[in-house]
A = this chain, B = another copy of it.
Amino acid sequence: MDNFTFYSPTFFVFGKDTENEAGQYVKQFGGSKVLIHYGGQSAKKSGLLDRVGASLDAAGIPYVSLGGVKPNPRSGLVYEGIDLCRKEGVDFVLAVGGGSVIDSAKAIAAGVQYDGDFWDFYSGKAHIARALPVGTVLTIAAAGSEGSPDSVITKEEGMFKRGTGSNAIRPRFSILNPALTQTLPAYQSAAGITDIMAHLYERYLTNTKEVEVTDRMIEALLLTMKHEGPRVIADPNNYDARANIMWAGMMAHNNSCGVGRSQDWNSHNIEHELSALYDCAHGAGLAVTMPAVFKYVMNHDVMRFAKVAVRVWGCQMDFDHPEVTALEGIEAFRRFLIDLGMPSNFAELGAKEEDIPKLVEVLCHGDGRTGSISGFVELSEEDCTKIYQMMV
């Protein structure tokens, strides 16, 4: 196991009706003027924004609101939020939504306390040293942003989708009410499930030896998703299945199961170009990307793929031909995602074969990269081209 540090200081409030405690926690964590940041109309229509607003009223905390965050959140709204916070003297950003809203809120919180262009944090020009405190009321189990130091934003000029991370933008508190996810369309639930499983696979694919504890924890969370995923697709109102998925989603990405080991993240990087160009759901893009990447890199460590096949997917180990078991596990995962309702190829995703050179160009040369991406395996332009072709 490699040396590491681990820090996850977020206060988690989990369960039914907990959104009504938002005001109390904003107060506890020092907020006196709040920006409520949210996405589309669903948070309004469901009454969630009203309930959160009422809890702020009850705590005596004034607030302003900024909605309109879209999936794959854009830089434009971040600039708008920064201006609004400065104008209104906001000292606490409360994200009410999913990963996109939380990521956008984190970008605003960092940008308000920075003299330069907030994009510097995403292009690698600057590190986030301080930010307004952020809280969250989560409405979809997916990105894990509620418990992570990460944020991913798409710059509208050039459609670069890039991430950053800092302990300064970790949420001070996150409110997780699984019931809020019961109204999600099945496709969004499935995309969230896929994203959570991707966070687990990205950590599972390691070159570090002797990491039994984190291997086992990742497998535990994958097994949870395997069990609970189909249950929420079959019955969207299954609170218990939603709850198990929601906690797994946080644990999958606060990195307690990823410490002390190298990680992959090639699938995320390859997918980011798809959601940036086609504006598809990140999870849907991952469902198409992961099986292709895994098949392409499988021979780098056949035994690792055989292990997850046996321990998670219930495959029988072929001791004479471990590569058969490894491939069976990838196929089982691919079929699982299709059964959840996820796309399995470029066409279903709305992606086009003729765009592959453009995708590879941005992936391997955009924003400071020099012809390849690295992770579990280093992938050249040629490798990335072949992987995208496997997805057609």
Contacts and interface: CB of A to CB of B under 8 A. Distances in A.
Interface of A: 1-16, 18, 178, 209-214, 216-217, 219-221, 223-224, 227-228, 240-241, 243-245, 247-248, 251, 256, 259-260
B244 A1 contact: yes
Contacts of A244: 1, 210-213
A54 B12 CA distance: 38
A4 B15 contact: yes
B11 A7 contact: yes
A240 B14 contact: no
A-B interface, 5 closest residue pairs, ranked by CB to CB distance from nearest: A3-B15, A210-B240, A9-B9, A220-B220, A216-B220
Contacts of A256: 251, 256
A6 B217 CA distance: 18
Nearest to A228: B212
A49 B1 CA distance: 25
A1 B240 contact: yes
A215 to B, nearest CB: 9
A244 B241 CA distance: 30
Contact of A7 (B12, B209, B245, B260): B12
A11 B5 contact: yes
A16 B4 CA distance: 10
A6 B175 CA distance: 11
A268 to B, nearest CB: 23
A247 B215 CA distance: 12
Given A5-B14, A14-B260, A243-B260, A213 B221 contact: yes
Nearest to A251: B256
A214 B260 contact: no
A1 B251 CA distance: 16
Contacts of A11: 5-7, 9
Contacts of A12: 5-7
Contact of A3 (B18, B213, B217, B245): B18
28 contacts: A1-B244, A1-B247, A3-B14, A3-B16, A3-B18, A4-B15, A5-B14, A6-B12, A7-B9, A7-B12, A8-B8, A209-B240, A212-B227, A212-B228, A213-B221, A213-B244, A213-B245, A213-B247, A213-B248, A213-B251, A216-B220, A216-B223, A216-B224, A217-B220, A219-B220, A243-B260, A247-B260, A251-B256
A22 to B, nearest CB: 14
Given A216-B221, A224-B216, A243 B5 contact: no
A2 B243 CA distance: 9
A217 B224 CA distance: 9
A73 to B, nearest CB: 27
A47 B4 CA distance: 23
Contacts of A224: 212-213, 216
B15 A243 contact: no
Given A6-B12, A15-B260, A221 B228 contact: no
**Which one of A8, A228, A248 has the highest number of Cβ atoms from chain B below 10 Å of its Cβ?**
A8
A65 B247 CA distance: 42
Given A220-B219, A223-B216, A260-B247, A5 B13 contact: yes
A8 B18 CA distance: 19
A251 B260 CA distance: 14
Contact of A1 (B9, B217, B243): B243
A7 B10 CA distance: 7
A3 B246 CA distance: 13
A208 B227 CA distance: 18
A227 B216 CA distance: 11
A310 to B, nearest CB: 13
A287 to B, nearest CB: 22
